[in-house]
């Protein structure tokens, strides 16, 4: 996919979803270590890299090498050298142990073959005070998003997250999405 296509899609997406505003609302700040699992072309990863600044780091993972290559180019153009990107499978990837302030799933948790394993890896990466964020499509018919049958409703996503050893601290609902904020159980 060409860069023009990514930028066009992102411009349209920003009409109904502002990544920077969402991340600020979630508490992303300078110096954070932020992990974006299933980062795609960087819709949230680039916004996170700008927010965490040069003292912070953003790890991005996606199984699609083309989108990772595109994201690397875009980060280079912006001078964002705090992005550490990897092509890989989320079920097999742990960037670091107890290092992340936030592990973020931006409309992807329903896409993984083994979401329980992916959540277990997220738990391994989070600091004890870190937060897991699952922002995903509501399970209702709408003109946007993946087919209804593959989406997780809030209850299913919450149960998966709790089963992985997290406690839900907040659930927010938007027009098209819900956001679950969780921390490791103590």
Q: Residue 1's pLDDT is what? A: 37
> HSE on the CB side for 17, CA within 13 Å?
23
Cβ count within 10 A of residue 88 = 14
Tell me: domain 19-184, CATH 3.40.50.970, correct? no
Domain ranges for the chain: 19-184
Per-position b or e across 40-69, b if 16+ CB within 10 A of its CB: bbbbbbbbbbbbbeeebbbbbbbeeeebbe
pLDDT reported for residue 14: 55
Q: Which residue's structure tokens are 């992303």?
A: 28
Enumerate residue ranges in the chain where pLDDT < 70: 1-17
Buried b (16+ CB within 10 A) or exposed e, 100-132: bbbbbbbbbbbebeebeebbebbbebbeeebbb
pLDDT of res. 142 = 84
């Amino acid at each position: 996919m060409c860069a023009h296509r990514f930028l066009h899609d992102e411009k349209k997406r920003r009409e109904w979803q502002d990544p920077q505003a969402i991340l600020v609302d979630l508490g992303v700040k300078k110096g954070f270590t932020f992990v974006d699992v299933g980062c795609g072309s960087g819709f949230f990863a680039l916004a996170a890299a700008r927010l965490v600044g040069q003292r912070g780091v953003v790890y991005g993972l996606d199984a699609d090498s083309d989108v990772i290559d595109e994201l690397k180019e875009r980060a280079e153009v912006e001078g964002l050298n705090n992005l550490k990107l990897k092509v890989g499978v989320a079920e097999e990837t742990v960037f670091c142990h107890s290092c992340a302030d936030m592990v973020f799933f931006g409309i992807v948790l329903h896409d993984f073959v083994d979401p329980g394993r992916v959540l277990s890896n997220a738990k391994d990466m989070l600091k004890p005070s870190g937060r897991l964020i699952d922002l995903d499509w509501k399970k209702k018919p709408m003109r946007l998003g993946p087919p209804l049958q593959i989406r997780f409703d809030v209850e299913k996503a919450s149960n998966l997250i709790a089963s992985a050893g997290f406690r839900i601290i907040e659930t927010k609902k938007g027009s098209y999405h819900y956001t679950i904020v969780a921390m490791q159980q103590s």
